Amino acid sequence: MRRIRYQEIADELRKRAQDAPPGSVLPSEAEMSAEFGASRVTVRRALEMVRDEGLIAARQGFGWFVAAEPVRQSLGSLATIESHVEGVGKLSERKIEEFAFEQPPTRVAQILGVSQVLRVKRVNLADGEPFAVVTVWCPADLGANLSRRDVERRPFYELLDIELRGATQTIGADLAGEVDADLLGVPTGSPVLRCQRVTTAATGEPVLVSEHLFPAHRTEFVVDLPQAEPSMTPSGVRIVD
């Protein structure tokens, strides 16, 4: 029996989804329409067929991607990305992109109260796929004895010779710039979660500022609330000017 065109396209998309790593981004509908020589309606029907089988998924403003179980990060305690990745049975790796002692951005200088910092930018991988782009700023005197190899193998929490008290994490929505999109393997302008974390020492003094960029289609944050709140507004939500 002759196959209908959208079924033929679905066969090819199904094969690609099975061969590609979870979370991989698929071409846009316009690009697939040109590739297969078919209308957008036909391509969309093929995509929806494969989506209904659970092989691919789509997010508004992002596009189509190979379906993957999101990595969930709990905000109930001070923990590293690696611990959450490993907690769901994935192999965690980190790749250092930049390592430099330099003057910090104004906002970082205001938080840490220093004029020189160690800045480390890295990519975190889960089962070999980019999961986060992380930039960490540490006062230069605290990071003076650290090497590129040190921060590639272990988190700052383990490397700093001081007692830590906790951290404040602020999460917002953003769009991936060209450089970070390339590191994450997503299209420029894709939705990302941008998290700023300020870690303090036992004395209450800020000692680390970090910025985490997560692809929105692969990440979930879970907050454990100790008891029901009387308000319908989620705890911690604030309006950004």
Indicate the helix (H) or strand (E) that contains 79: none
Q: Rounded to an integer, what distance in angstroms lies between the CA atom of residue 28 and that of residue 8?
A: 18
Domain with CATH 1.10.10.10 in the chain: 5-66
pLDDT-derived band at 238, boundaries 50, 70, 90: low
Q: Do 65 and 55 contact (CB within 8 A), yes or no?
A: no
- Residue intervals of the chain classified under CATH 3.40.1410.10 are 71-222
- Which CATH number fits the domain 71-222, given the four candidates 1.10.10.60, 3.50.30.30, 3.40.1410.10, 3.10.20.600? 3.40.1410.10
Residue 203 has pLDDT above 60, yes or no: yes
| pLDDT higher than 50, residue 12 | yes
Architecture of domain 5-66: Orthogonal Bundle (1.10)
Q: Express each pLDDT in 89-140 by its tens digit.
A: 778 889 999 999 999 999 999 999 999 999 999 999 888 888 899 999 999 9
More confident of the two residues 102 and 226: 102
In the predicted model, is pLDDT for residue 79 greater than 70?
A: no
Reply yes or no on whether the pLDDT at 235 is more than 70: no
* Residues paired with 125 in a beta bridge: 93, 130
Flag whether pLDDT at 189 surpasses 80. Answer: yes
Closest CA to 210 of 80, 115, 101: 80
1 falls in which pLDDT band (50, 70, 90)? Answer: very low
Phi/psi for 100 (5° steps) reads: -155, 145
pLDDT tens column, 24-75: 888 989 999 999 999 999 999 999 999 988 898 887 767 888 887 666 555 5
